[in-house]
Amino acid sequence: MKKLIFTLLLLPVIAFSQGKIVSGVVSDDMGSPLPGATVQVKGSDTIGSITDFDGKFTIAIRDGEKKIIISYVGFVSQEVDVVGQNNISISLEQDVSELEEVVVIGYGTVLKKDLTGSVSSVKVSETISRQSTTVDQLLQGRAAGVQVTQNAANPGSGISVRVRGTSSLRGNNEPLYVVDGIIISSASEDVVATGGNNTGQEQQSGLNGINPRDIEDIQVLKDASATAIYGSRGSNGVILITTKKGTPNQVKTNFFVNTSMRSVSKTYDVLDAFDYARYRNESNIRLSPTAQPAFHIENNQLYPIVSTVGTGEVSIYETPLTTVDWQKDLLKMATSLSAGGSVSGGSENGNYYLSGGFNDQRGLTENSSFKSGDIRLNLNQTLSPKIKINARLSGFFSSTDFAEGGDLLGGSSTSFIRNLLSFRPILPDGLDDIENIDDLGIASPYSFIDDFEDISNENRFFGVLTATFDLGLKGLSFQTRAGGNIRTKERRRFYGLTTFVGLNANGQLQLSKMNASSFQITNTLRFNRTFKRKHRINAVLGLTYDQRTTKNMTYVVQDFVTLEKTTEQPFLGQVISSPLANLDRETKLFSVLGRVNYSLNNKYIVTASFRRDGVSKFLEDQRYGFFPSLALAWNLHRE
């Protein structure tokens, strides 16, 4: 038995001694060492090595293992047979497909290897899009330097995207969004707030109209070199979104149904009803030694102690109070259902992409939900060898029911969450007028569920038509694009008598509407050509015209003849507390823009761009701005 154990202990040593050590050097196709390259035994996830500063490595190979795999970012991985070899040299070739990848930038495209600006690319695979229901979820954690924050927990609530940090304390810090070449409304644009008590009303997301499953890729332009061609509107960064198109000679169908459930991961520890009663009793006595306690506890029941007005006689109320855990009672399981599909296909001369979807999200409270539907049609057609056209059409419809205070700070006196945590853990049971059990004026959490409505209905329509003409000279083309988007929204808030706002007003309805539209025309002359295999020029010169119109309406009425929820019946209000107000705004912008990207031997790269904007909102002698940029790049690894 002892001999057997001794033999087994020696087995790992013998097995290792039967292997060998392989050394080598990893370099690029020009002979320069590649430090940090990964060397791994094929079929093993644990045995590997990394090259040092001189590109050298050493790795232990066991018997039966015949190949190693060498990989390096930006180069094609290589598989090497090590049978009969102890010292090897490996030369990796650059991954041409990655370097030759075309990246969408402002008003054109450029080879990835010719980029001089800071651009983050997000390739939207089917797997990624399945995990996301909104565009901000696609960006979150996938684009370096991009910060995505949800402003509230309500379904359909606002998001904040920061590409270049916070540059303004009070102004808009959102990036510029460009979808298929058309600038869309800012994510923070919304209906006008109807009063000081509506803080947060304007923070709903402006990106809800785009289905993540329809997106092919996202480019995030960050620095001045990349964003200068968009002028002042690009000061907070630019996010370019390209939607999908069909594949020639291949019909693809895709249908999906997704469901999910969410719940509160952790509730706050608060006083239960009996601890609260003891706290109130002790508080009364500390305030005044002659004061009476507020509650009486007997046989695990809680009774209020009341005093008769005038006589001051004190007695224990005969009916016990009902205790409640507000967090468990009002916070529910949140469910989500998404369904939809797409059909795409085409021929060598044209392709199509058609999709539609439906989304139903329920919040953690009964009166919190978000429903939406969308449809999209993308068409591409080659009319002749020199003329190509494409069209993009989409529609979006949504209905949102917000819980009060969902987009307010927790410290606000009108916040639902604050009331959920602060309100006494005892049901009022009609005893609000009894002395000693008032709650400092805080409305019951039930008021925000049963006596409050915040409903928004929104429609969006987007369309763009693009035509590209080959002008005969190699690399020279002309493109004209016309498009725009229309957005309508209505938001109604009704406060009943058990809410702060509605109590003194005998019910109050706040109504706000917005009609926004934009129309854009862009004409660009483009040149992209390589001379003598060493000089590559990519240039664009263009004119753009952008007209935006926004019409806002607000109206507040109160003192309702009925105490039922009246979001659809403003005429029942007898007092107009804020008369009908209209705010119309129109902005026109005319721009001249240009960019030249020059590459010499794939080593030295220069990018120069400019934009001159004229905006109608400023005085005539102050409405023009000039935004130039210059960037240089040197590919040292090619020296």
The answer to whether 47 and 40 are in contact (CB under 8 A) is yes
Average pLDDT over every residue of 441-467: 83
The DSSP line for 445-462 is HHHHHHSEEEEEEEEEEE
> What mean pLDDT, rounded, does the chain reach?
82
Are the C-beta atoms of 516 and 558 separated by less than 8 Å? no
With H, G, I as helix, E, B as strand and everything else as coil, classify residue 586: strand
**Cβ neighbours around 339 below 10 Å, total:** 14
**Residue 474 near residue 527, CB atoms below 8 Å:** no
Residue whose entry in the numeric block shows the structure tokens 């508080």 = 283
**Alpha-carbon span 633 to 119, nearest angstrom:** 14
620 burial via Cβ count (<10 Å: 0-12, 13-18, 19+): exposed
CA gap 160, 203 in Å, rounded: 9
Give Cβ neighbours of residue 533 (< 8 Å, ≥ 6 apart).
none
- pLDDT tens profile 570-612: 777 778 888 888 889 999 999 999 999 999 988 899 999 999 9
Q: First vs last Cα of the chain: how many Å apart?
A: 67
pLDDT of residue 16: 41
Q: How far apart are CA 77 and CA 26, in angstroms?
A: 11
Residue with tokens 């529609």: 395
The length of the chain is 639
Helix (H, G, I), strand (E, B) or coil at 395: strand
Cβ atoms of 373 and 397 closer than 8 Å: yes
Q: Considering only residues 639 and 370, tell me which one the structure prediction assigns the higher pLDDT.
A: 370
Residue 350 has pLDDT above 90, yes or no: yes
Closest Cα to residue 238, out of 217, 219, 221?
Answer: 221
**pLDDT exceeds 70 at position 422:** yes
Alpha-carbon distance 577 to 476, whole Å?
62
Of 106, 314, 64, 343, whose CA–CA distance to 227 is shortest? 106
Residue 411 pLDDT exceeds 80? no
3-state SS string over 257-292? EEEEEECCCCCCCCCCHHHHHHHHHHHHHHHCCCCC
| Dihedral over Cα of 138, 141, 144, 150: its sign | positive
CA distances from 296 to 274, 285, 610 (A): 10, 14, 78
| Burial group, residue 612, by CB count within 10 angstroms (0-12, 13-18, 19+) | middle
Residue 9 has pLDDT above 70, yes or no: no
Quote the CA–CA distance of 28 and 404 in Å, as a whole number: 61
Nearest to 568 by CA among 581, 552, 579, 557: 557
pTM: 0.76
CB-CB neighbours of 316 under 10 Å:
11
Banded pLDDT at 335 (limits 50, 70, 90): very high
pLDDT tens digits for range 168-179: 656 677 888 899
Range 228-248 average pLDDT: 90
The region of weakest confidence among 189-203, 209-223, 486-500 is 189-203
- CA distances to 515, 543, 547, 592 from 616, in Å: 20, 16, 10, 15
515: number of Cβ within 10 Å: 15
Task: Return the higher-pLDDT residue of 432 and 149.
Answer: 149
- 406 band by pLDDT with thresholds 50, 70 and 90: very low
Return the amino acid letter for 338.
S
Banded model confidence at residue 396, pLDDT cuts 50, 70, 90: very high
Relative to beta strand 87-92, strand 20-28 is parallel
Question: Can you give the three-state secondary structure of 549-585, one letter per residue?
Answer: EEEEEEEEEEEECCCCCCCCCHHHEEEEEEEEEEEEE
Report how far apart, in Å, the C-alpha atoms of 350 and of each of 249, 254, 331, 470, 481 are.
10, 20, 52, 17, 18
| Domains defined along the chain, listed by start | 20-91 (2.60.40.1120), 177-265+331-638 (no CATH), 273-324 (no CATH)
CA distance 376 to 91: 48
* 20-69: pLDDT as tens digits: 888 999 998 778 888 878 888 887 766 678 888 888 998 888 877 888 89
Range list of β-strands (E), 222-362:
238-243, 252-262, 295-298, 301-307, 314-316, 334-346, 350-362
Q: For strands 87-92 and 56-61, give the pairing.
A: unpaired
Q: Tell me what pLDDT residue 65 has.
A: 81
- For 28, the enclosing helix (H) or strand (E) is strand 20-28
Q: Is 70 exceeded by the pLDDT of residue 419?
A: yes
Is residue 314's pLDDT more than 80? Answer: no
With beta carbons less than 8 A apart as the criterion, state whether 145 and 222 touch: yes
Which residue's structure tokens are 């790992």? 12
pLDDT the model gives residue 225: 86
Identify the DSSP state of 55.
S
The per-residue pLDDT for 494 is: 84
